Each structure stands twice: as C-alpha cells, then as structure tokens.
Amino acid sequence: MNLILLGPPGVGKGTQAKLLIDRFGIPQISTGDILRAAVKELTPMGAKAKGYMDSGALVPDEVVIGIVEERLAQEDCQKGFILDGFPRTVPQADALGQVLSGMGKSIDHVVSLSVDKEELLTRLTGRRACANCGAGYHVDFAPSKVAGVCDACSGQLVQREDDKEETILNRLSVYEAQTAPLIAYYQAAGVLRSVDGLGTVEAVQGDILAAIRA
Ligand code: AP5
C-alpha cells in the first residue's frame, strides 16, 4: 500500500503514521523527521534547511524531492510506504508522480486529515518530544508519567523549535497557500479520502482504516 497522509501542521499525521507502521509493516517517510535529523547532525543539507524550518517556511522543492526519491528506492519501501509531510506543493506532487511512474508504482490513497485551527494550536503548543529517543507526548492529551521526563528512557522532554506560537501561525499560513491545493489535486486523481482528525487517536485511526478499506 502506497499512502500519503495530508493535512496541516499538528493534525496528527505523525501520530497516525506510527500506528499504521505497526499495522501494515511498511515504513513512514517523514520529510520533517529527515530534515530535523540533518539539522541535528550538522550536515550541509541540514545547514541549508535550518533557516527555512525555524521560520516555518518550506524547504526548497529540489531538496525534499531529492530526499524522497532516494528514500523510495530503498528496499524497505518496496512493499509500500507512508508519506508524512510530503508532498507539500504541487511541484512536489508532480515530481512524486514521475518518480513513482518510473518505478511502475502509483499512490493508492491520500488520507486528508482536518481539525479546526484552535485545536491545531492546542496540539502544537502542547507537543513535546524526548531529546534522547524521540518519543512523542502532549502535555494534556498524552502526558508523560513524570512531567518533562520520558517514560521510555528518562530523557528530557523538549519543545520543537518551530512549535512556538508565532512560528505555528506562519506554518498554518504556508499550509493554506502552498499545501491545501493538493486536496483538489488528489481529489481530481480519484485517490483522496477525507477523514475528520478530531477525536481520540484510536478513533481517528479507525476512521482512517475504514476510509482506506472503502
Ligand atoms: P513536519 O515535521 O512535516 O511538520 P508538520 O507538517 O508541520 O506537521 P507536524 O509534525 O507539526 O504535525 P503532525 O500532523 O505530524 O502532528 P502530530 O502527530 O505530531 O515539517 C516541519 C518543517 O520541515 C516544515 O515547516 C518545513 O520547513 C520542513 N518540511 C518538511 N517537509 C517538507 C516538504 N515536503 N517540503 C518543504 N519543507 C518541508 O500531533 C501533534 C500533537 O497533537 C502531538 O503532541 C500529538 O500527541 C497530539 N495529537 C495527535 N493526534 C491527536 C488526537 N487525535 N487528539 C489529541 N491530540 C492529538
């Protein structure tokens, strides 16, 4: 199964992708995670991406298209993949279509998740991740047992640089201007499945599975 999770920052793409990995045994390809790792490792690509990410802007198309093309060619993607945070522009979607077509593949489902802006702000400002193992938390919806400490490895929980309110607002504007047009793009292609992202993580997962099966 070749799947795209589409939706604004904080809608739950990463959370849902992790559950789908366990269910289907296919990898999650998160361009955000790959870029953050490059920033942390101080690679040339990370140095180029950092300024864009810190301000909430998109990293240039050619950088992310190259990342995804390389990742899709790897062995673990041959039985399927979950794209999380890619594509984010029409040129990225066109490039993805060409890369997949060259591999004799196509996208089966684009799951478009949505919740209102107030909920997005609550989810993003309260999100925390372990600086050591990367496990995800939310201060209200998925808190750790001890505040600020990871349940799994006792690492310190930190807030993402781009989860400050001003940057979040910019990310939401960028989403509306550059990524939301992909909803119509994939609707026209006949692969769009719209799912309400409001509800418990488990309920949203159930709705995603139902949308895919339908
Ligand atoms: P990226 O990392 O992709 O961030 P994003 O798309 O902004 O999405 P998020 O990771 O913020 O949100 P999410 O939908 O995954 O939500 P989550 O599951 O964590 O991109 C970051 C940056 O990298 C971009 O701004 C850009 O600069 C660059 N970039 C990345 N890809 C790019 C591309 N293709 N082109 C160009 N630039 C690119 O959930 C959020 C919180 O809500 C969590 O705390 C979670 O616990 C909680 N939560 C989740 N579901 C629920 C629920 N049902 N109920 C209650 N709480 C919930």
Written as one string, the DSSP assignment of 73-132 is: TSGGGTT-EEEES---SHHHHHHHHHHHHHTT----EEEEEE--HHHHHHHHHTEEEETT
Radius of gyration of the CA atoms of the chain, in A: 17
- Is 213 annotated as catalytic? no
Structure token pair of residue 129:
């991740």
Domain boundaries, the chain: 2-115+178-212
In this structure, the residue with its CA closest to atom 55 of ligand 1 is: 141
CATH fold label, 2-115+178-212:
Rossmann fold (3.40.50)
- Is 13 annotated as catalytic? yes
- Residue ranges at the known binding site for ATP: 10-15, 127, 199
Q: What is the pLDDT of residue 33?
A: 94
Asked if pLDDT for residue 91 goes beyond 90, the answer is: yes
Nearest by Cα to 64 from 53, 75, 55, 54: 53
Catalytic residue, from 88, 123, 128, 193: name it: 88
The number of the ligand 1 atom at minimal distance from the alpha carbon of 11 is: 14
pTM of the model: 0.96
The mean pLDDT value of the chain amounts to 96
Catalytic residue, from 18, 48, 105, 160: name it: 160
Taking residues 91-103, report their average pLDDT. Answer: 97
Q: What is the pLDDT of residues 135-148, one digit of tens each?
A: 999 999 999 999 99
Taking residues 59-73, report their average pLDDT. Answer: 96
How far is Cα 32 from Cα 54, in angstroms, rounded to an integer?
12
Whether residue 23 contacts residue 3, with contact meaning beta carbons closer than 8 Å, is answered with: no
Nearest by Cα to 29 from 86, 88, 91: 86
Q: What is the pLDDT of residues 124-137, one digit of tens each?
A: 999 999 999 999 99
Taking residues 95-121, report their average pLDDT. Answer: 97
Q: What is the pLDDT of residue 214?
A: 85
Residues 6+ apart with CB under 8 A from 71: 29, 34, 77
Q: What is the pLDDT of residues 11-55, one digit of tens each?
A: 999 999 999 998 999 999 999 999 999 999 999 999 999 999 999
- Is 160 annotated as catalytic? yes
